[in-house]
Chain A
C-alpha cells in the first residue's frame, strides 16, 4: 500500500494560483473555501523587504491532530495516507478546524465570501447539497468528503482521492507527464505550469518524491507540533514568517 505524499518546490513556484483554481474546479469548492491556496507574505521593513508566497494544501499528516480530536471519527486517516472526512458522520462541531495547525479546513455553512453568492445563483435543488453547480465531479462519495458539500459539515483537501485511489497498484509516482498516471494525478499537481509539485509514494525508496526530499533537503512545516506532514517543501523559503501585526 502506498503512502501518498506531495513535494512542493518553492524555488519553482511562481505563485500563479493555477493550483488553487484547478482545485476549486475539480472539487466544486465555493469562493473562500480554498482547500488549496497560495499564501502571500510581506516580510521585513523598508528597505529590506521581500514578498514570499507559499502554496498550502492539506498536509495529510502522519499523526494528524484533527483525527485525534474528532469526537465521531468522521475525520480519519486512510491506509494509503490521506486524511479524509466522512460527511455522513460529521456533526459540524468544528473541533478539527480548531486543532489543525495549518488552517486547511472549512465549514460548509460559512457566510459567503462574495456576493451574489454562488449558492444563490446555482441553488440546491432540494437535495442536501449546499448548491448545484453546472459542473459536478462524477465521483461523489460523502464517506470520503468528495463531491458537492452538504450543509453543516467541515470540508478539506482530499489529495484528489477520487483520482489517486484509482491509480495502478505499485506505481511510485503520479506524474502528469506520464500517460499511464496522468488521470490519477491530483488536480493541483497536474495543472502546475512550472512543475513545482510532485506527487508519489513516500514509502517507495525509488519514488521521485523521496529522491527530491533527500537531494534537496525537503522540510515539513511546523515540525514542533508533532503532526508530521506528508507534504514537503523544497527551496529557500521553507518556513512561514511569524505572525506580526501591521504597524499602525
Chain B
C-alpha cells in the first residue's frame, strides 16, 4: 500500500497555519531582537558572569530535539522498525528544520558567526569539545539532507540509502553526546560536571524528539485519528506513544537523580545552586507537570488518544525547556572570583533581545517545516508499507 495517496487535506491547512505562524513569529522575533542591530550583544543580559544565556539554552534545546527526531526516523530507516515508516519522513524533515533553527539561534549568539566558517576548520583544535560538536552536527545536517533527498526519490532502503541513514544516526548520537560533554566536562563548574551528561543529553533529546513527532503528526492530520491512514494510526496508537512513555520515565529518573545528588552535595557551588534551581517554582512545575503528569497520562489506554498525546507532548516540551534552562543557567550562577563585587548567586533574566533571538530560531524552524509539509509529501512511506 502506498500511503502517498492518502495525504489528507488537513495537512495542507495545517501547513498554511504553520507558515503563517512562522512568518508572524519571525516578524516578532526580528522586532524583539532589534537591539542586536543597534547595541550588538550588549543588548543581551549576558556578560562575564553568565556568558551563555537564553540563546544557548534555545540552541541546545532545538539541537537535541533534532537528534531525538533523527533517532525516531532512524528506528525505521536504519533499524527496520517498520511501524514507524509512516512518520519517518516527517520526523527527518522536522529534524532538519530544528537543526537549522538551532544553528540560526547560535549564529545570532556568536560574536563572529561567519568567521567560524573558516576559523574552526583552519584551527583544527581537536581538544575542544565545541570543535567536535560542530563537526558532528555539520555531518549530521549534511547527511540528513542527503538522506531526505534519497527518500524524495523514493530510495528508502537501498544499501546506499541505509548507509547514509546509518552515518546520520551515528553523527547525531555523537553530536548530542558531545554537546553533553561541552557542559558535563567542565569540572570548574561543579553544578555542570557530570560524566553522565552526554547520555542524559541523548535520552532527553529522544524525549523531545518523540514529543515533537507526536505533536506535529497529530497536527498534520487535524488532531484526528480518523484522518490518518491506517499505518499512521497504528504508529500513533502503538509504538510511538510507548517510546514516549519510556523516554519520559528515563528522563524523569535522570532529572530526579540529578536533583537529589546535587542537593545532597557538601560542595557549596553545587548544593546552593541546586536549592536555588531545583527549589524554584518553574523547575518543580517542570518536574511534576512537565514530566511526572505526562508519564501518568501515557501509562494506560489514554496514550492512544490524540488529545492526551498532544497535551502530554506540550507539557513535556515546556518542561524540558525549563530543565535545560535550569541546568545551563544554573551552572553559571556562582560568581567566579568576584569577591564582594558579586556577594550572592548572579541574578540573570533574559533580555527582550535574547527572547527575540530564540523566537527567530524557532520561527525559522517552523517555516522550514511548514514549507516541507507543503511541498515534500511528508506522509510518504515505502511502497512495501
List residues of A whose CB falls within 8 A of some B CB: 32-33, 37, 39-42, 53-54, 56, 65, 68-74, 89-95, 97-112, 151-153, 222, 225, 240, 242-246
Closest chain A residue, CB of each to CB of B340: A40
Q: B125–A70 contact, CB under 8 A?
A: yes
State whether the Cβ of B11 lies closer than 8 Å to any Cβ in chain A. Answer: no
Question: Which residues in chain B, 298-347, are within 8 Å of chain A measured between CB atoms?
Answer: 332, 334-341, 343-345
Q: Specify which chain B residues have a CB less than 8 angstroms from the CB of A39 in the assembled complex.
A: 337-341
- Other-chain contact of A98, B43, B52, B272 (Cβ < 8 Å): B52
CA distance A156 to B371 in the complex (A): 45
CA distance A40 to B119 in the complex (A): 39
For the A-B complex with A69-B130, A72-B115, A245-B345 known, give 12 more contacts whose Cβ atoms are closer than 8 Å: A91-B113, A92-B111, A93-B110, A94-B51, A103-B335, A106-B48, A110-B42, A110-B46, A110-B47, A153-B111, A240-B337, A245-B344
State whether the Cβ of B20 lies closer than 8 Å to any Cβ in chain A. Answer: no
Given contacts A70-B128, A97-B51, contact A91 B337 (CB under 8 A): no
CB distance from A89 to the nearest CB of B (A): 5
State whether the Cβ of B134 lies closer than 8 Å to any Cβ in chain A. Answer: yes
Q: Specify which chain A residues have a CB less than 8 angstroms from the CB of B261 in the assembled complex.
A: none
Q: B268–A69 contact, CB under 8 A?
A: no
Question: Which residues in chain B, 138-159, are within 8 Å of chain A measured between CB atoms?
Answer: none
Question: Which residues in chain B, 5-53, are within 8 Å of chain A measured between CB atoms?
Answer: 40-48, 51-52
Given contacts A74-B123, A91-B116, contact A99 B42 (CB under 8 A): no
Given contacts A42-B340, A91-B119, A245-B272, contact A152 B186 (CB under 8 A): no
CB distance from B338 to the nearest CB of A (A): 6
Give the interface SS of chain A, mostly helix, strand, loop or mixed. Answer: loop
Q: Specify which chain B residues have a CB less than 8 angstroms from the CB of A222 in the assembled complex.
A: 188
CB distance from A56 to the nearest CB of B (A): 6
Q: Specify which chain A residues have a CB less than 8 angstroms from the CB of B345 in the assembled complex.
A: 245
Q: Specify which chain A residues have a CB less than 8 angstroms from the CB of B338 in the assembled complex.
A: 39, 103
CA distance A93 to B182 in the complex (A): 12
Q: A72–B125 contact, CB under 8 A?
A: yes
State whether the Cβ of B129 lies closer than 8 Å to any Cβ in chain A. Answer: yes
The 4 A-B pairs at the shortest CB distance, nearest first, are namely A92-B111, A152-B111, A39-B339, A103-B336
Q: B130–A71 contact, CB under 8 A?
A: yes
Chain B interface bracket (under 10, 10 to 19, 20 to 34, 35 or more): 35 or more
Chain A CB within 10 A, most for which of B44, B186, B336? B336
Closest chain A residue, CB of each to CB of B117: A91
Interface string of B190-218 (1 = CB under 8 A from A): 00000000000000000000000000000
Q: A110–B48 contact, CB under 8 A?
A: yes
Q: A98–B186 contact, CB under 8 A?
A: yes
Q: A152–B340 contact, CB under 8 A?
A: no
Closest chain A residue, CB of each to CB of B128: A71
Q: Specify which chain B residues have a CB less than 8 angstroms from the CB of A92 in the assembled complex.
A: 41, 110-112
CB distance from A83 to the nearest CB of B (A): 14
Chain B CB within 10 A, most for which of A41, A95, A105? A95
List residues of B whose CB falls within 8 A of some A CB: 40-48, 51-52, 110-113, 115-116, 119-120, 122-125, 127-131, 134, 182, 186-189, 268-269, 272, 332, 334-341, 343-345
Q: B41–A100 contact, CB under 8 A?
A: no
CB distance from A244 to the nearest CB of B (A): 6
Q: Specify which chain B residues have a CB less than 8 angstroms from the CB of A40 in the assembled complex.
A: 339-340
Q: Specify which chain B residues have a CB less than 8 angstroms from the CB of A101 in the assembled complex.
A: 188, 336
Q: A69–B129 contact, CB under 8 A?
A: yes
Q: A72–B123 contact, CB under 8 A?
A: yes
Given contacts A68-B128, A69-B129, A97-B51, contact A109 B335 (CB under 8 A): no
Q: A71–B131 contact, CB under 8 A?
A: yes
Q: Specify which chain A residues have a CB less than 8 angstroms from the CB of B127 in the assembled complex.
A: 68-69
- Other-chain contact of B111, A73, A109, A243, A246 (Cβ < 8 Å): A109
Closest chain A residue, CB of each to CB of B124: A73
Given contacts A111-B42, A245-B345, contact A56 B337 (CB under 8 A): yes
- Other-chain contact of B48, A53, A95, A107 (Cβ < 8 Å): A107
Name 15 interchain pairs, CB-CB below 8 A, sorted by A.
Answer: A41-B339, A41-B340, A70-B123, A71-B125, A71-B131, A73-B125, A74-B123, A94-B51, A103-B335, A105-B48, A110-B46, A110-B47, A111-B44, A240-B337, A243-B269
CA distance A240 to B337 in the complex (A): 8
Q: Specify which chain B residues have a CB less than 8 angstroms from the CB of A102 in the assembled complex.
A: 336-337
Q: A95–B128 contact, CB under 8 A?
A: yes
Q: Specify which chain A residues have a CB less than 8 angstroms from the CB of B340 in the assembled complex.
A: 39-42
CA distance A104 to B335 in the complex (A): 11
CA distance A40 to B113 in the complex (A): 37
Chain A CB within 10 A, most for which of B41, B116, B122? B41
Given contacts A41-B339, A111-B47, A243-B334, contact A69 B128 (CB under 8 A): yes
Q: Specify which chain B residues have a CB less than 8 angstroms from the CB of A53 in the assembled complex.
A: 339
- Other-chain contact of B41, A56, A74, A104, A109 (Cβ < 8 Å): A109
Given contacts A98-B51, A100-B188, A106-B48, contact A91 B42 (CB under 8 A): no
Q: B332–A98 contact, CB under 8 A?
A: yes
